[in-house]
Amino acid sequence: MKLSLLQTNNNRRGAGYRPAAAGAEVGGGGGGVGAEGSLKSSMSAFWLLLHGLCCVISLVLGFRFSRLVFFLLFSPANLHPSAPVFRAIATRTTKTTTTTTTTATLTVSFPSSHPPPVVSNATASQSHVVVGRHGIRIRPWPHPDPAEVLRAHRIIERVQSEQRLLYGVQNPRPVLVVTPTYARTFQALHLTGLAHTLRLVPYPVTWIVVEAGGLSNETAALLSRSRVQFLHIPFVESMPAEWSDRHLTEARMRLRALRVIRERRMDGLVVFADDSNMHSMELFDEIQKVKWMGAASVGILAHSGKPNDRQLSEEEKQNFPVPVQGPACNSSGQLAGWHTFNSLPYAEKSATLVGDGATVLPRKLEWAGFVLNSRLLWKEAEGKPEWVRDLDAVGENGEEIESPLVLLKDASFVEPLGNCGKKVMLWWLRVEARADSKFPSGWIIDPPLEIIVPAKRTPWPDMPTDIQSELENTKQEHEERRFSRTSRSRSRSSRRKGDTQRQDK
C-alpha cells in the first residue's frame, strides 16, 4: 500500500518534470544535431528519439515506464516462486494486472524473511496443489541449529512464566529460610545442596544463616558463592558434640533468627530448612497457602552408619514405624493430632555423639515441618491472632524448646499442608563425618600433597618395577595412618614443605 503511494508520488513528480526535461532536451538535442558530425549526430539522434519515445509513453501511462522495463529485463528470470519479487512487480503495475490480494489467509502472518508460498491468482480456477508423486524436501543440513534451540527455550520459558502467572500462586509472598549451621567437614555438602534448592525457588528468598561459634570464613565463602540473598548471623555458643545438646542448641539458634526477623520486621513465610535436609520444589509452592502457621509431613530418614548386616524379619519390619512426622487429620480434613516419630525400636542403637556410626534420631516433632507467617513474630501486626505467644516470652526462663508449637498458646490452629499431610514434601536427615575428621580449608588443596602415589592398577610405563612395588607398600601404610606425614619419601616428585593438611578447629 505504502509502496504504491510512494510510486504515485514519484509518478506525479516524474510527470511534472518530464515535459520540462523533454522539452529542454529536445531543444538541446536539436541544437546538438546540427553542430556535431553526422555519425555522432545519428547516434545521439537515435538515443534522443528513444528517450523522447519513453518520455511520451511515460506521460501517457503515468509512471516511469523506463524503470519498469529495466527492472523486468534485469531481474532474476525465476520470478514465479520468489514472492517478494512478485509482490514488488504487483505494486508497480498498478493498472495493468489484477494484483494479488494480500498474501491471503494461507500464509503465516508474522514478519519474517521467509517468502510466503505462491499465491493462487484470482484468475486461476484450478488448484496449484498437484495430486501425484512429490519429492521429499530435505534441507542440506537437516540438524538442529543451536541459535534456534536457544530461541525455542526462551519461548518455552515465556510460556511457562505466563502459565505460572495465570494458574500458579497469585501474590506470592517472599520466603525467609532459617538455617542453623556450623563449620565442619560435611558443611560444604549440606550447604551446597541447600543453596541449589533455594536458587530454584521461584519466589524471592532471603536465607538467614545462623552460625554456631561465630562467623567463619568457611561459611562466609559458601554463602557468597551461593548467589542467594543471605543474612549471616553469628551465634556465640559453639555446637556441642552430643546429639541431644545439639538439638537444643539448634533450637536456640532458630529463635535467634526469629528475633532478627522480628527486629527487622521482615515480611514473608518462615521456613526452617536445616542444612542437611532435602526439600522438594512443591513444598515452596504449597507453603504459599499458609495463612498463619502451617505444618507439612516430614519424611524421616533415620539411617544407621553401617549397612544392614542382617535382614529384618517380617515382625520387625512391622514394628518399625512409618517414618513420617506431621499433622494428622480426621475424616473431615481438620487437624486432629500429630504423627510423631516413635524412637523405641531404635533405643539401643541411636547415636550419642555427632559423627557416630549409629542412627541419628529426630525429636518428636522437628522444626523443619513447620512454616510461619513472619507477622506472627512481629510486635504488632494487623490481624495477628491471639493464640500466639509473644516471642520475647519464649525461652526466657531457659526452658527447653522442643518444637515450634512452643510458640503457640493453642496448637489446634495450625494448618495442615500437602493434602492434609498425605504428601511428604521434605525429608529429614542427619549425616555428619567423624568428629576428628579433617578437611582442607575452603576445600582448596594448597600447597600440593607431599606424596604423589601412582594408581595401584595401572603401572607407570617408565617406572622400574622395584620402586613401584615399594611405592605400593607405602601407599598401604598411608591408608592406615590417615594423612600423617611419612619419613620415607620414595616418590621422585615428593616435596618436604610441611603438613599439607590444615588442621581445622
Q: Which stretch binds another protein (CB under 8 A): 46-54, 138-146, 405-413, 470-478?
A: 138-146
**CB of residue 329 vs another protein: minimum separation in angstroms?**
22
- Residue reference for cell 534522443: 48
Closest Cα to residue 250, out of 294, 210, 278, 197?
A: 210
For another protein, the binding residue among 2, 80, 95, 134 (CB under 8 A) is 134
Residues numbered 158 to 217 that lie near another protein (CB under 8 A) are: 158-160, 162-164, 166-168
By residue count, the chain amounts to 505
Which residue intervals of 265-411 are DSSP H helices? 281-286, 314-319
Residues numbered 96 to 125 that lie near another protein (CB under 8 A) are: 105-110, 112, 114, 116-117, 120, 124-125
- C-alpha cell, 67: 524503470
Q: Which stretch binds another protein (CB under 8 A): 134-142, 236-244, 301-309, 353-361?
A: 134-142
The contact mask relative to another protein for 139-158 (x = CB under 8 A, - = no) is x--xxxx--xx-xx-xxx-x
Our finding on whether 281 is near another protein (CB under 8 A) is: no
**CB of residue 332 vs another protein: minimum separation in angstroms?**
24
User: Which residue type, as a one-letter code, is found at position 73?
Assistant: L
- Strand 293-295 to strand 415-416: parallel, antiparallel, or no bridges (unpaired)? parallel
User: Which residue type, as a one-letter code, is found at position 243?
Assistant: W
Count of residues touching another protein (by CB under 8 A): 46
CA distances from 334 to 140, 159, 364, 415, 447 (A): 65, 37, 21, 8, 61
- Residue partners of 299: CB distance under 8 A and separation at least 6: 323, 324, 424, 426, 427, 428
Our finding on whether 24 is near another protein (CB under 8 A) is: no
Within 13 A of 125's CA, how many CA atoms are on the CB side? 0
**CB of residue 281 vs another protein: minimum separation in angstroms?**
11
- Residue partners of 267: CB distance under 8 A and separation at least 6: 173, 174, 374, 375
Helix, strand, coil percentages in the chain from 3-state DSSP, rounded to 5: 40, 10, 45
**CB of residue 1 vs another protein: minimum separation in angstroms?**
19
For another protein, the binding residue among 1, 60, 73, 138 (CB under 8 A) is 138
- Strand 297-300 to strand 335-339: parallel, antiparallel, or no bridges (unpaired)? unpaired
Q: Which stretch binds another protein (CB under 8 A): 127-135, 178-186, 229-237, 441-449?
A: 127-135
**CB of residue 81 vs another protein: minimum separation in angstroms?**
8
For another protein, the binding residue among 38, 78, 123, 127 (CB under 8 A) is 127
- Return the number of the residue (107 or 491) whose C-beta is nearest another protein: 107
SS3 for 114?
coil
Q: Which stretch binds another protein (CB under 8 A): 128-136, 212-220, 317-325, 353-361?
A: 128-136
Residue ranges that bind another protein, judged by CB under 8 A: 105-110, 112, 114, 116-117, 120, 124-129, 131-139, 142-145, 148-149, 151-152, 154-156, 158-160, 162-164, 166-168
